[in-house]
A = this chain, B = another copy of it.
Amino acid sequence: MNQQQASMPRVFAPVITPFTADLAVDAPRLVAFCKWLVTQRAGLAIFGTNSEANSLSLAERIELLDALVDGGVDPRFMMPGTGASALPDAVTLTRHAVARGCAGALVLPPFFYKGVGEDGVYRYYCEIIEKVAASQLRLYLYHIPQLSGVAITASLIARLRQKYPKTIAGLKDSSGDWENTRRMLEEFPDLQVYPASEALLERALPLGAAGCISATANLQPRLIADYIDQWSMPRGRQINGQLTAVRLRMQNTVMIPALKAVVAHYAGDPAWTTVRPPLSAAAPAEVQKLLADLDGMGFAMPGIAAAGEVKQ
């Protein structure tokens, strides 16, 4: 973890993306929500899987990042997803993230063609790095084989690290496979490894994990940040109990619509419930039950109401 910049948060939210009723991206709502997340000690992994990033056009991703930085959100807290199915799109997005001063860029492997072989994926990442050609680039590899169909293997990481030791900064491991996370932490001690759930922190932090990038960091970022600070202390165990209850309940939902329904409720802003096809909004009865369950756990999103006061 020794390469991580001191200013970087250790918990990142793969920030959910608001849409207007006609399914356009809603920049003012995203800016307000990101500002709230930053007050809660979260970094901003905008354009991640939970952001419906692969349902956004290139122009929308550029427009939203510009709106955030121009709107006063500190890019040193941002690790935008800049991966794409098409190499030129990944180059454009990664270049833009660097140009706007983002702390890093989280890059999916190309995700349409399957069984492409490590050489092709290696060349894909090399092309991005060579074409962006920026010494400030900190590239985080994104391992999520259940959706991308293309794995980020240890041998791929080793090859890329050898060629670009400074640029290849980290790995988000969304496999949910602890054995894989453990192996990455042990084989690459200088790599910033982020498991995709705070559930793995208890085992990952002692091995040097950088933090986590987790869906539920949209809901309880401060608690996760506090846990990362205090995991080895008695208070840490107490926090972990609170974290776990909410996380387990959220894991029992269709995550993206559920996250949006929860934010809509606590922000008092129903516009947040909109998802873009192919996703579907959560069923009202399920939302009601989820909210009742969270309420019963004493769940809260302190200060989120202010972020709900965006009117267009």
In the complex the two chains form, is A280's CB within 8 Å of B116's CB? yes
Say yes or no: is A133 at the interface (Cβ < 8 Å to chain B). Answer: no
How close is A274's CB to chain B, nearest CB, in angstroms? 12
Say yes or no: is A123 at the interface (Cβ < 8 Å to chain B). Answer: yes
Q: Within the assembled complex, what's the spacing in Å between the Cα atoms of A123 and B274?
A: 13
Known: A114-B147, A147-B114. A278 touches B86 (CB 8 A): no
Q: Within the assembled complex, what's the spacing in Å between the Cα atoms of A201 and B159?
A: 46
Task: Name the B residues within 8 Å of A56 (CB-CB).
Answer: 86, 88
How close is A91's CB to chain B, nearest CB, in angstroms? 9
Q: How large is the interface on A (under 10, 10 to 19, 20 to 34, 35 or more residues)?
A: 35 or more
In the complex the two chains form, is A86's CB within 8 Å of B55's CB? yes
Looking at the complex, which of A104-112, A222-230, A294-302 is the stretch in contact with chain B? Answer: A104-112
Which listed residue, B57, B92, B120, B148, touches A86 by the CB 8 Å rule? B57
In the complex the two chains form, is A280's CB within 8 Å of B123's CB? yes
Say yes or no: is A188 at the interface (Cβ < 8 Å to chain B). Answer: no
Task: Name the B residues within 8 Å of A111 (CB-CB).
Answer: 85, 111-112
Say yes or no: is A119 at the interface (Cβ < 8 Å to chain B). Answer: yes
In the complex the two chains form, is A112's CB within 8 Å of B280's CB? no
In the complex the two chains form, is A277's CB within 8 Å of B147's CB? no
Q: Which residues of A118-163 have CB atoms within 8 Å of chain B's CB atoms? A: 119-121, 123-124, 127, 146-150
In the complex the two chains form, is A280's CB within 8 Å of B55's CB? no
Interface residues as binary, A70-88 with B (CB distance below 8 Å gives 1, 0 otherwise): 0000000000000001111
Task: Name the B residues within 8 Å of A277 (CB-CB).
Answer: 87, 110, 120-121, 123-124, 127
How close is A283's CB to chain B, nearest CB, in angstroms? 11
Q: Within the assembled complex, what's the spacing in Å between the Cα atoms of A114 and B149?
A: 11
Say yes or no: is A175 at the interface (Cβ < 8 Å to chain B). Answer: no
Q: Within the assembled complex, what's the spacing in Å between the Cα atoms of A124 and B279?
A: 9
In the complex the two chains form, is A280's CB within 8 Å of B117's CB? yes
Say yes or no: is A41 at the interface (Cβ < 8 Å to chain B). Answer: no
In the complex the two chains form, is B57's CB within 8 Å of A116's CB? no
Q: Within the assembled complex, what's the spacing in Å between the Cα atoms of A109 and B54?
A: 13
How close is A236's CB to chain B, nearest CB, in angstroms? 34
Which residues of A pack against B, CB within 8 Å? 23, 54-60, 85-89, 92, 109-114, 116-117, 119-121, 123-124, 127, 146-150, 276-280
If A112-B147, A127-B277 are given as contacts, then 15 extra A-B residue pairs at C-beta distance below 8 Å, sorted by A number, are A54-B86, A55-B110, A57-B89, A58-B58, A60-B86, A85-B111, A87-B276, A110-B278, A111-B111, A111-B112, A113-B147, A114-B147, A116-B279, A117-B280, A120-B277
